[in-house]
């Protein structure tokens, strides 16, 4: 699924300035390019030497659930550092596309500081939740998917009627436009089904996606929900006075 947003009646909305979103994208891309996963940095060598460097790199900067709860300060920081590390070009580009599509409007609605804290906090908690549910795992977990899933959850609450263009494989990748309240719950359902499937594949943290999505939706509701005001009934006119 990829998409863009526009008005509920199809009118294009001015694309707002989003320096935090663009900065996060640039930082993730820079870290990936200079790291061993991109294969572009000759410092890490080639072949088996490169593979060994990648494993060491992911273990150092990614979340290893079995090590996270040992109490060391270094392990406690890994859910934050892992948000900026990606395992492959596909992993990076997919995450950055979703961040670009859904992060811009969410950032403008929240404001730069709030959006930054929201992104980092929800991303950290999403990875922490995954690690807690898989406390014995020795596998490294990297990527911004938990934080970006939180952005999707917030977007769903803030802009439920925004139109999202989706490419659906079972419909021959025809571009179809649906409101966010249809597309994003459908995406979350796919994550839930994948998380419950045995042997879903190493390195795919569907549970982190679900935790992040739920956190983002809950935060947006708590922060931006405005209960409807009930207008007080007009006071009855005193007896003997003419009423309009």
- Whole-angstrom distance, CA of residue 213 vs CA of residue 210: 5
Give catalytic residue positions. Answer: 145, 209
Q: How far is CA 121 from CA 98, 216, 230, in A?
A: 18, 10, 35
- Whole-angstrom distance, CA of residue 181 vs CA of residue 163: 9
- Name, in order, each residue with C-beta under 8 angstroms of 193's C-beta and a sequence gap of 6 or more: none
Asked whether the beta carbons of 137 and 65 are under 8 A apart, the reply is yes
Tell me the CB-side half-sphere exposure of residue 151, using CA atoms within 13 A: 30
Which residue's structure tokens are 């009646």? 9
């Amino acid at each position: 699924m990829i998409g863009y947003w526009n008005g509920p009646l199809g009118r294009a909305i001015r694309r707002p300035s989003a320096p935090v979103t663009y900065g996060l994208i640039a930082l993730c891309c820079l870290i990936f390019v200079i790291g061993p996963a991109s294969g572009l940095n000759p410092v890490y060598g080639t072949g088996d030497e490169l593979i060994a460097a990648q494993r060491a790199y992911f273990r150092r900067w990614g979340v290893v659930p079995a090590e996270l709860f040992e109490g060391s300060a270094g392990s406690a920081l890994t859910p934050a550092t892992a948000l900026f590390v990606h395992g492959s070009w596909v992993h990076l580009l997919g995450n950055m596309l979703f961040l670009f599509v859904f992060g811009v409007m969410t950032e403008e609605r929240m404001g730069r500081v709030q959006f930054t804290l929201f992104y980092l906090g929800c991303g950290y908690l999403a990875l922490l939740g995954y690690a807690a549910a898989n406390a014995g795992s020795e596998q490294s977990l990297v990527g911004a998917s938990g934080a970006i899933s939180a952005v999707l959850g917030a977007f769903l609450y803030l802009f439920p009627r925004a139109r999202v263009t989706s490419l659906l494989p079972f419909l021959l990748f025809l571009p179809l436009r649906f409101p966010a309240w249809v597309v994003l719950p459908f995406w979350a359902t796919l994550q839930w089904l994948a998380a419950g499937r045995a042997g879903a594949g190493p390195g795919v943290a569907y549970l982190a996606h679900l935790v992040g999505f739920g956190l983002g939706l809950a935060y947006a509701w708590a922060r931006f929900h405005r209960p409807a005001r009930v207008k007080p009934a007009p006071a009855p006119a005193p007896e003997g006075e003419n009423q309009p």
